Structure 1
Amino acid sequence: MNRTDRLHALSEELRRAGPRGRTAAHLAAWLEVSTRTVKRDVSALQQAGVPVWARSGPGGGYVLDARATLAPVNLTPAQAIAVATALATQPDAPYAADGRVALEKVLDVMAPADRRRVEELGTRIWIRAEGSPPPVDPALARCLGDALATRRVVVLTYDDAAGRSTRRRVEPHLLARRGEHWYLVGWCRERRGPRWFRYDRVRAAHLTPEPVVERNAAVFGTPPQDAHPVRR
């Protein structure tokens, strides 16, 4: 790691630590350098105007002034995973790398329980991006997303490939994008088996208070090798 990258990494680590700070020994081990190098780097940050100050005494170390840390945010797990999904869908978009860094900063300041919820929910949304999916009714997308996030049964009015309309009670397992379509993958109680429901064939959706039955993920099949979850 060159010095410029190391200085950036050092300031970001102090930003994450917040008022707890980090000792020189911790930073040296994390950056795989000597404590002397850490002290020189901290001095360089201070000379550049970064508000880093030393805290003396037991457990002392370096602290980044609270005014320079990320302000508190109130993103819900669903909002955070929406950002992650957008980034995963367009990995080569301009500023995509900066977007991923920004997302990690947001996750850093979330409550531990919310952070765990984001990570768990991220494993249930898979992306295999090819082409551009057709527009989706925002209310429908929100209902299906809420069904997955809250682990509740959703009732669908669904048109099959032949155009026949049926009513399905579905236990959501994951959301997936394959080719040019988004799918709700779940257990269909009417068909008593796993099914993939294409978003553009869902005519109506109603979220129920009924919890899903947790099932072995293997029954839903293995994702293609070129697919990946939005949170790895």
Structure 2
Amino acid sequence: MKRAERLHALSEMLRRSGARGVTAERLAREFEVSVRTVKRDLDALENSGAPIWSRPGPGGGYGLAAGASLPPVTLSPAQAVSLLAAVSAAADAPYADLAAAGIRKIMDVLDPRTRAHAEELAHRIWVDAPPASSRAVRSALEAAMAEQRVVRIRYTSRDGATTTRDVEPVLFASTNGRWYLVGWCRLRDAMRWFIVSRIERADLTTLACSGHTVEEVGEPPETARPVHGARIA
């Protein structure tokens, strides 16, 4: 068993042991390694952020704090870098900041050798992405979508006209390199597509959306699909 696989299995065994815990000797027998190796693995798990507790003396042992949910992640360097590349190339995507934070957490719990290889490979990938839109605007739009609340936007159209509109967010869509907020415009009383980069200001209101659905927007083109159904090679 490779060390990364052993670390994953070790954390799962600690999790299953619950409040009882498990001794280093039992772990050593289970994984057919020395007690010294087990303790070194336990140190590695703890250094990666796993909330491991230890109880000395007879009846003591090791365990994982209740509520812990992120076991060591087993990824190849290429898999780890693919996540970094995807987020770096889509810095203007909805929730991109949260995605980047999640990937940093994943990188932190990789075993040191894999992380070092991933970081070396990452230096061989360059991304020339356009500047992201205002963080304040994106935060308001993301919150409005997640909480299904009306967002008030100041929007400049292609012809240069600027209006203030209350919008019920329905979905985010990406096409031709641009991100759109698609929602029910209360000013026009119709579904509208707003280019995110043209939204100069966005303020989250306390008003709940009235229930407009994705189906009202229509079917996506053949080359598009919701992210949960994206084809992964």
Q: What's the TM-score, normalizing by structure 1? A: 0.52
Structure 2 SS opposite 1:44: coil
CA distance in 2, matches of 1:21, 1:5: 25
Matched pairs, number: 170
What is the one-letter code of the residue matched to 1:183?
A: Y
**For residues 210 and 98 of structure 1, do their structure 2 counterparts lie closer, same or farther at Cα, with a shift above 3 Å needed?**
closer
**For residues 21 and 136 of structure 1, do their structure 2 counterparts lie closer, same or farther at Cα, with a shift above 3 Å needed?**
farther
Structure 1 SS opposite 2:215: helix
User: How far 1:171 sits from its partner (Å)?
Assistant: 0.5
The superposition leaves residues 46-71 of structure 1 with CA deviations (integer Å, 9 ceiling, x where unpaired) of 44113499xxxxxxxx95355xx789
CA distance in 1, matches of 2:108, 2:178: 30
CA distance in 1, matches of 2:224, 2:28: 41
Is the 1:131–1:179 contact (alpha carbons within 8 Å) kept by the matching residues of 2?
no
User: How far 1:156 sits from its partner (Å)?
Assistant: 1.5
Aligned counterpart for 1:40 among listed residues 10, 14, 30: 30
Is the 1:20–1:63 contact (alpha carbons within 8 Å) kept by the matching residues of 2?
no
CA distance in 1, matches of 2:100, 2:206: 39
Is 1:6 the counterpart of 2:5 in the alignment?
Answer: yes
Structure 1 segment 73-84 matched on structure 2, within 5 A: none
Is the 1:7–1:45 contact (alpha carbons within 8 Å) kept by the matching residues of 2?
no
Bigger Rg over Cα: 2
Q: CA RMSD in A?
A: 4.8
CA distance in 2, matches of 1:91, 1:230: 19
Partner of 2:190: 193
What is the one-letter code of the residue matched to 2:167?
A: V
Partner of 1:102: 105
CA distance in 1, matches of 2:18, 2:199: 49
Identity %: 27
Q: Which runs of 5+ in 1 are unaligned?
A: 24-36, 54-61, 72-84, 107-129
CA distance in 1, matches of 2:87, 2:151: 25
Higher-RCO chain (CA-CA 8 Å, sequence separation at least 6): 1
Is 1:136 the counterpart of 2:133 in the alignment?
Answer: yes
The superposition leaves residues 156-197 of structure 1 with CA deviations (integer Å, 9 ceiling, x where unpaired) of 121222222222211012334434333222221223332221
Is the 2:137–2:202 contact (alpha carbons within 8 Å) kept by the matching residues of 1?
yes
User: How far 1:201 sits from its partner (Å)?
Assistant: 1.1
Partner of 2:79: none
